[in-house]
Amino acid sequence: MRAVVVEQPGVVRVTDVPEPVAGPGEVVIEVGACGICGTDIHIIDGEYPPAEYPCIIGHEFGGTIVQVGEGVTRFKLGDRVGADPNFPCMGCFHCQQGESNMCLNLTGTGTTNPGALAERVAVPERVVYALPDGMTWLQAALIEPVSCVVHGYHRLDPKIGESYLIFGAGPIGLQLAQIARFNGAGVVAIVDINEGRLARARDDFGFEHVATRWEDLRHLAPIGFDNAIDATGVPRVVEMALYSLRRRGKLLVFGVCPPGEKGCFDLFKIFSEELSIIGTMSLVHSYGPAIKAIGAGAVDADKVVSHTFGLEDFADALAMVRSGAGLKVQISGL
């Protein structure tokens, strides 16, 4: 079958690879669509330490089961499914605490195991979820990023009516904004240096409070925002976001900064104003809620996904992602 393989950092190609086989407790899924994630870019660039090379990337996907292994009981051939890409061991300290995204032995689709930017992919039955009737492949391939957004909000523990300032109007920033609005935010404001993305946030998604400088949004929360969320992965932006908060405000670090990057913060400000800086990594207990959120219309998938490409056109799709000209880019028709 054909797949996108990262041979080593900086070397990626579409090539022939062996067909996956469903082992005991596994299913093989024929991929209907798969999104290109920032994590995939980090793997291509050698900036994601858990990745093992060569690697078939891709972990945002949905598809149809075409093979079931011994012992599979919940699914059958022809079922339309999505899959949590993480394979926690379920035996380490963190797994036993219900913190499986912190698993000390974590493996997963598209990082340590073959991914879904391929015609077919094998995954454990335990991470597979049935899709609702009528859910499109485009929507199914958004479940994983939305589930990361949902986990981020679980970490924030937000209250109805709170204000949000989101740094970054890319696909993740807009999903964060939509989930905040859906869950009763009082104010949702977005800042980005890309004016094209801000125009899309305003005109396509209905977010009227957008600006290229967060200071131009200060009037929306005169004493500071309840929550600031970084969706850029740029250390300087994370540092800046802290100053947009009210006392006892919360900063969610959602964007993936390169490993080893340092930030500089006013520690007295954090101490004296009781500010919280909260990390969020991947997803846990949030894939099912994300399916429901998409089904309820919390995220407009048709607008979030701006471009689709065929598998053989992955180089063009990657260039589109790197250019920042679109929003979510997916590979479909696999």
- Write the DSSP symbol of residue 258: P
Same domain, 52 and 171: no
8: domain CATH number?
3.90.180.10
Of the chain, the percentage scoring pLDDT greater than 70 comes to 100
pLDDT digits (tens, 9 = 90+) for 87-130: 999 999 999 999 999 999 999 999 999 999 999 999 999 999 99
Q: What angle (nearest 5°) sits at the alpha carbon of residue 226, between those of residues 283 and 305?
A: 45
The answer to whether residue 311 sits within a structural domain is: yes
The answer to whether residue 294 sits within a structural domain is: no
The per-residue pLDDT for 326 is 86
pLDDT digits (tens, 9 = 90+) for 198-217: 999 999 999 999 999 999 99
Same domain, 106 and 132: yes
The answer to whether residue 287 sits within a structural domain is: no
Same domain, 60 and 116: yes
The answer to whether residue 289 sits within a structural domain is: no
The answer to whether residue 328 sits within a structural domain is: yes
Same domain, 26 and 137: yes
What's the mean pLDDT when you consider all of the chain? 96
The answer to whether residue 292 sits within a structural domain is: no
Same domain, 16 and 49: yes
Same domain, 273 and 185: yes
The per-residue pLDDT for 324 is 85
The per-residue pLDDT for 334 is 66
pLDDT digits (tens, 9 = 90+) for 246-298: 999 999 999 988 888 999 999 999 999 999 999 999 999 999 999 999 999 99
The per-residue pLDDT for 259 is 84
Same domain, 256 and 309: no
Residues contacting 332, CB < 8 A, separation 6+: 32, 33, 34, 137, 138, 141, 308, 309, 310
Residue 330 pLDDT > 80, yes or no?
Answer: yes
- How many independent structural domains does the chain possess? 2
Q: In the block, which residue shows the tokens 């300087």? A: 236
Residue 222 pLDDT > 70, yes or no?
Answer: yes
| Bond before 289 cis per omega within 30 degrees | no
Residue 329 pLDDT > 70, yes or no?
Answer: yes
Residues contacting 119, CB < 8 A, separation 6+: 1, 2, 3, 30, 31, 311, 334
Q: In the block, which residue shows the tokens 């305003």? A: 202
Q: Do 241 and 165 touch, CB atoms closer than 8 A?
A: yes
Same domain, 251 and 191: yes
Count of other CB atoms within 10 angstroms of residue 134 = 7
Same domain, 134 and 153: no
Q: How far apart are CA 189 and CA 165, in angstroms?
A: 5
Same domain, 6 and 136: yes
The per-residue pLDDT for 72 is 98
Residues spanned by the domain of 168: 149-279
163: domain CATH number?
3.40.50.720
The answer to whether residue 125 sits within a structural domain is: yes
The answer to whether residue 284 sits within a structural domain is: no
pLDDT digits (tens, 9 = 90+) for 32-73: 999 999 999 999 999 888 888 999 999 999 999 999 999 999
Same domain, 190 and 241: yes
Same domain, 69 and 121: yes
